[in-house]
Amino acid sequence: MSNQPDLNTRAEIEKLAALISLPAGELQSLAEGGAENLRGLRRRINQRIFDDRRSQFRALEKFTRLLPQGTVAKLAENALGPKLAGRVVGEMDPIRGFKIAKRLPASFLADAVPAADPAKVREIIPYLSAELIRDVALILVKRGAYILMGRFADALSAPAIRAVVGAIDDDAVLLNIAFYMEEKTQLTKVVQMIDNVRIARLIRTGTEKTLWPQALSVIDNVSSELRARLANIMVDQDEATLNDLVSVAHEQNLWGPVLRALDKVNVKHHRKVVNLPALKDENILGGLVASAYEEGLLESALPLVRPMREAGRKVVAHAALKQGAEVAEAALWAAQNTGQWDLILELAEYLNTEERDLIAGLPILRKPQVLRDVLTAGAADNKIALLLDIIERMDAPGRRVVAEVAVDNDGNLLESVIDVARKSGSWQTLAVMLAELDGKGRSLAGQIFRRQTDDDRAAFTAAAEEKGVWDTLAGDLGGEAA
């Protein structure tokens, strides 16, 4: 899995590189600062650029106020040229700037926009006609000026957005413009004007032209409601397209946007997605789990395991544990917070000896409420035998907490453990666990054991003697059956 920065940070690096005329690769070390800091840096640099000689351009703008607007437009086109005109118009108030700009040809405006202060241009754009904006946009598209177009896309009026989107047939162009949009919070407004057929085309373009990062950036930066619409369109694509998405997400560290999208997908699509051939790779699933942990998305990712086929679940179980104790601990907390211990217990059945040892040593399994919930889930799903195996691997303090939880509340959980010990012959594990109790705890356990059959008591006594703990237990667990 790649260590590439998140999508918004990538976009900011590329915008900064374009501003200062450097290859984006030379600025990768700035990625650690994150998108917001990079955006602030870029805007400060941009401000310094346009502050340079601003007083001279303001003086020239004041001079133009003495002339008719038509004359100023002709002066700009025939004498000043687009770059100088862009600086001068950028000093005008928005209404006057609009009145000059609307008299200039689209080709001239396309040349002038890069030279003008972006903040000033954004104030003028809403006044321009949709047709003029469309014509300027088409010229900029031919130049591949996607970063420049993204700088102003969110400032367009609704008619202008419709005119531009309708005129640009190449979906890759739209994806690139959206990727570089200055204010991603406005992306929802733009995408809401695009019908589902075009959205599906845009998503397919993501794989056909290796633009999955751009497509996912769009999905990740719209409102929750719109993200659900886009995500459902995304997962409705064919298997080849979705396999490509999985590969790119793994290679370019894009699992965060993918998981946030899947969190909004109708559950009927989950089975199709999680059983993709590409997700049978343990390395890919390991990267997914690691990303889910890093981005705080484990609670969203857990439900995706449910519709997996058994082979996939096995791969997930091993891949998750390979990420280490920290990730495993977080995954168990995700199960605790969302009430999904039944799922965790199903996955735990696939774990090998080493992996079960790791689980047994996690701090979360020293928390009484957690253990109470785990044992309750285990009793409900007939997974107590599995839990006894993990308990046996715990250290003494861990076994003590388990035993205290088991005898609490009239010992209902202990009764469930005894039932399993009877069927599986796990009396030794039970004896070692109960030996960790203090006197009060052993007394409570004794009350429960005196309700058991003579055969069960005899089997438990023999196991406790074999493990060398019967002397500790005899005073409370010995005696006649009730």
Per-position pLDDT tens, the chain of length 482:
556 788 899 999 999 999 989 999 899 899 888 999 999 999 999 888 877 777 777 776 777 776 777 787 787 788 888 888 877 777 778 888 888 888 889 999 999 998 888 888 888 899 999 999 999 999 999 999 999 999 998 888 889 999 999 999 998 999 999 999 988 877 888 888 888 888 888 877 876 667 888 889 989 999 988 899 889 988 888 898 899 889 989 988 899 999 999 999 988 889 999 999 999 899 999 999 999 999 999 999 999 999 999 999 999 999 999 999 999 999 999 999 999 999 999 999 999 999 999 999 999 999 999 999 999 998 888 888 899 899 989 999 999 999 999 998 778 889 888 888 888 888 998 999 999 999 888 998 988 888 889 999 999 999 999 999 999 999 888 765 54
Task: List CB contacts of 375: < 8 A, sequence separation 6 or more.
Answer: 384, 387, 402, 405, 406, 413, 416, 417
pLDDT digits (tens, 9 = 90+) for 181-215: 988 877 888 888 888 888 888 877 876 667 888 88
Which amino acid is residue 480, in one-letter code? E
Q: DSSP letter at 441?
A: H
Q: Are 217 and 256 in contact (CB under 8 A)?
A: no
Sign of the Cα pseudo-torsion (302, 308, 314, 316, in order): negative
Task: List CB contacts of 103: < 8 A, sequence separation 6 or more.
Answer: 69, 70, 73
Burial 131-151 (b: 16+ CB within 10 A, else e): ebbbbbbebbbeeebbbbbbb
| Long-range contacts, 378-384 (Cβ 8 Å, 24+) | 378/341, 378/345, 378/416, 379/413, 379/416, 380/342, 381/342, 381/345, 381/346, 383/345, 383/346, 383/348, 383/349, 384/416, 384/417, 384/419, 384/420
State residue 480's pLDDT score. Answer: 57
State residue 3's pLDDT score. Answer: 67
Query: What distance in Å separates the CA atoms of residue 447 and residue 411, rounded to the nearest whole number?
Result: 9
Q: How far is CA 76 from CA 65, 97, 110, 112, 415, in A?
A: 13, 12, 14, 10, 90
Q: For residue 412, what are its two tokens?
A: 């209902």
Query: What distance in Å separates the CA atoms of residue 402 and residue 232, rounded to the nearest whole number?
Result: 44
State residue 2's pLDDT score. Answer: 54
The residue assigned the tokens 């890093």 is: 294
Q: DSSP letter at 182?
A: S
Query: What distance in Å separates the CA atoms of residue 129 and residue 247, rounded to the nearest whole number?
Result: 43
Query: What distance in Å separates the CA atoms of residue 36 and residue 280, rounded to the nearest whole number?
Result: 36
Task: List CB contacts of 89: < 8 A, sequence separation 6 or more.
Answer: 76, 97, 100, 101, 112, 116, 120, 124
Nearest alpha carbon to residue 460 among 445, 440, 444: 445
The residue assigned the tokens 């030794």 is: 428
- Helix-, strand-, coil-residue percentages of the chain, each rounded to 5: 80, 0, 20
DSSP per-residue string spanning 271-328:
HHHHT-GGGG-HHHHHHHHHHHHHTT-HHHHGGGGTTS-HHHHHHHHHHHHTT-HHHH
Task: List CB contacts of 63: < 8 A, sequence separation 6 or more.
Answer: none
Query: What distance in Å separates the CA atoms of residue 104 and residue 113, rounded to the nearest whole number?
Result: 12
**Region class of 194: left (phi > 0), else alpha (psi between -120 and 50), else beta:** beta
DSSP per-residue string spanning 84-134:
HHHHHHTTS-HHHHHHHHTTS-HHHHHHHGGGS-HHHHHHHGGGS-HHHHH
Report which secondary-structure segment, H or E, holds 162: helix 158-167
Q: Are 257 and 295 in contact (CB under 8 A)?
A: no
Cα angle: 317, vertex 323, 324; to 5 degrees: 105
Nearest alpha carbon to residue 146 among 24, 14, 33: 14
Q: Are 230 and 236 in contact (CB under 8 A)?
A: no
State residue 482's pLDDT score. Answer: 46
Nearest alpha carbon to residue 435 among 413, 402, 389: 402
